[in-house]
Structure 1
Amino acid sequence: MKQLWEKLSARYRYSWILLKELVKTDFKLRYEGSWLGVAWSVIKPLMLFAVMYVVFVRFLRVSDGSPTWPIVLLCGISLWNFFNEATTMGMQSVVSRGDLLRKINFPKYITVVAATIGSLISLAINMAVVIIFGFFSHAHYTWRIIFLPLNFAELYLMALGMALILATLFVWFRDLQHLWEVFMQVAFYATPIIYPLTMVTQMNPSNPKVGMTVQKLMLLSPPAQAIMDIRHNLLSPENVPTVWGSIHTWYIKIIPVILTAVIFLFGVYVFRKNSAKFAEVL
């Protein structure tokens, strides 16, 4: 066992050092030249939350009626910003590091992982803010927080898998960036983040089964499932529905988890198969 650990350490030591340096560099460059620096990683979602809260909660009265809704809204916005930022930055990471890839021979997946970890650091800062605000917003912290590492791991693997696929395609198709922006905007409104999922079940009072079916389909989206699970387990187990409580057939419940695993493994496969050609194209 000791020899195996030494071999693995020797094999991946260079990759680990390079990964740390790329993460540090990306994080510094992201806020270089700004007066508030790293504080923007907190201020940006707070500003977006303020706009969403005033428009949807105060004016349009979009709420689940619970006192925890504002903090649930902030949590959802922070989680979606992470997914959006991780996939977008990951998509651009190989092309943006083209000079480095042509000069130095190293595992190219490190550029994508470094970009997504940078987004993960911002998410950690935002989650700390969410937890602090939760104490003042009637958040109900329970034993369910033990599931959060699995929830965050699922969301990260989903983002990393998508980033690997997008980064591979982006080397050849630069228009993908604009298409992805449009897709993410549509996906944002199709995911129950700025509105409670209970609104979906009430959209057709004469036929509530339609709303229940749409709700279940929305929860089968891997990002939606992970985001709702985090909100449920961290802040409001009473008011945030999840796929585990809304669907009673076990093999349908696990569809989002299976999709996450498939997308991640497919992303690894696609990236590894094409990474040797990157230097030639870039």
Structure 2
Amino acid sequence: MTDVFKKFGEKYRYSIVVFKELVKTDFQLRYQGSFLGMAWSVLKPLMLFGVMYVVFVRFLKFTDGTPTFPISLLCGTCLWSFCSEGTSQGLLSIVNRGDLLRKVHFPNYIIVASTTMGSMISLGLGLLVVIVFGFFAHAHYTWRVLLVPFSILQLYCLVLGTALILATLYVYFRDVAHIWEVVLQALFYSIPIIYPLSMVAKSYPVIAKLLLLNPVAQPIMDIRHNLLSPEYVPTVWSSVNSLGEAKASNAWLWLDSWWVSIIPYICTFLILWLGIHLFSKYSQKFAEVL
């Protein structure tokens, strides 16, 4: 077993070194020239949370009335910022590093992976703030916290797969960047972040269940459920067999089946596989196109 790990380390040692340096460089360049530097990785989601809390919770009353909704909103904001930043930066990564591709020989996927990992570091800092605030915001920490890393890993795989697809397409079609901005806006409002799922479930229980089948919404809701509030935050698992009015329609009885809960996981796997496949197929021509 030791020999296997040794051979693996020797084979990918150069790639690992390049990956580490790119992650370090990308993360430092994000805040180069700013007075607060890396503190923006924490302040940015906090400021966004402040705006959302005042507008949607205080004025528009988008709340479920639970004591953990504000901290759940902060957690959702951090997680969404990771998805948005990771995919948007990943989309641009190959084109922005075109000069490096022509000068140094290394696996091209490292560029996209390093960019998404930089966003993961920002997410880690943001979640630390969420945990600290949770002690003052009625968060209920249980053994389910141990499940959070698995959901974060699933979310990262989803972001990485999406970034690989977008980075490949952007090399050939620059319109992808503008299209993705619109898609991100649509995705943001389709996920119960600024509004509780109970607001939708009261009048449209089927739509509420369909929202949870979104491969982006499912890990975000799972993280909020397991990290902050198992009692108040619904997930795709807890919503099975609880459709209420939806059971009256035979057309939607399939949403009451156990296998519905694994749809987001299947979608995540398919997106990651598609990203790896497309990137591997076209990455050899990146240097020529750029």
Q: 1:219 aligns with which of 209, 212, 218?
A: 212
Matches within 5 A, 1:33-48: 33-48=33-48
Does residue 28 (structure 1) correspond to residue 28 (structure 2)? The answer is yes
| TM-score (structure 1 length as normaliser) | 0.96
**Number of residue pairs matched?**
275
Q: 1:272 aligns with which of 251, 260, 280?
A: 280
SS of residue paired to 2:216: helix
CA distance in 2, matches of 1:247, 1:222: 16
SS of residue paired to 1:254: helix
Matches within 5 A, 1:164-243: 164-202=164-202, 204=203, 211-243=204-236
Does residue 246 (structure 1) correspond to residue 254 (structure 2)? The answer is no
CA displacement at 1:261 relative to structure 2? 0.6
Name 1:255's counterpart in structure 2. 263
Post-superposition CA distance 1:124-151 (Å, at most 9, x none): 0000000000000000001111111110
CA distance in 2, matches of 1:139, 1:264: 33
Name 1:69's counterpart in structure 2. 69
Letter in 2 for 1:66: T
Post-superposition CA distance 1:159-203 (Å, at most 9, x none): 00000000000000111111101110111011100000000012x
Runs of at least 4 residues off by over 6 Å: none
CA distance in 2, matches of 1:253, 1:242: 9
CA distance in 2, matches of 1:73, 1:259: 25
SS of residue paired to 1:9: helix
Post-superposition CA distance 1:221-268 (Å, at most 9, x none): 011000000000000111110000102422111000011011101111
Post-superposition CA distance 1:99-158 (Å, at most 9, x none): 000111110000000000000000000000000000000000011111111100100000
Name 2:14's counterpart in structure 1. 14
CA distance in 2, matches of 1:197, 1:4: 48
RMSD: 0.7
CA displacement at 1:18 relative to structure 2? 0.2
Please list every run of 5 or more consecutive structure 1 residues that lacks an aligned counterpart in the other structure. Answer: 205-210
Matches within 5 A, 1:76-95: 76-95=76-95
Name 2:245's counterpart in structure 1. none
CA distance in 1, matches of 2:132, 2:170: 38
Please list every run of 5 or more consecutive structure 2 residues that lacks an aligned counterpart in the other structure. Answer: 242-256
CA distance in 1, matches of 2:258, 2:119: 33
CA distance in 2, matches of 1:40, 1:11: 37
CA displacement at 1:2 relative to structure 2? 2.5
Post-superposition CA distance 1:35-65 (Å, at most 9, x none): 0000001111111111100011111111010
Letter in 1 for 2:267: L
Identity of aligned residues (%): 60
CA displacement at 1:4 relative to structure 2? 2.0
CA distance in 2, matches of 1:263, 1:100: 27
CA distance in 2, matches of 1:5, 1:125: 31
Matches within 5 A, 1:53-132: 53-132=53-132
